[in-house]
Amino acid sequence: DKFHRDQRNTSKGQQYVKDSVLDKVAEALEEKGQKHKDKSQSTFFRNREKVKESRRQEIVSILRDRNSATVRDFSVSIQGCSEKTIQRILIEMVQHGVLKISGKRRWSRYSIAEDYKPS
């Protein structure tokens, strides 16, 4: 009986060691995964910003060819970008003083602001 009890205690101790090792391995993997996730997220956001910047440049380029344009005009020229995304970019550019807006809602037309100096 004593032998079985000692054996049981030993197995519990081994189980505790196994659990502790598994916890450390899990923590290490989680930390490594988090580092990888952080890197991929920062790459994602850098690429996202590059795409936004290229769209802004395309918008300015379109407006240099024309005096003004609507969201629909931009969506025809800018491929792979929804009208809603274009609208968000245009609003951001208006807020930063790059573009000016005339008209409301569906009749909004965008043009380059007179005091805008490209950098």
Specify the CATH number for the domain of residue 30.
1.10.10.10
Q: pLDDT-based confidence at 95, cuts 50/70/90?
A: very high
pLDDT tens digits, residue range 41-87? 667 667 788 888 889 999 999 999 988 999 999 989 888 889 999 99
Residue 57's domain spans which residues? 2-112
* 4 vs 10: CA distance, rounded Å: 10
Number of domains composing the chain: 1
Full-model pTM: 0.60
Whether residue 97 is contained in a domain is answered as yes
Whether residue 117 is contained in a domain is answered as no
The per-residue pLDDT for 105 is 82
Beta bridge partners of 110: 69, 101
Mean of the pLDDT values across residues 13-30? 61
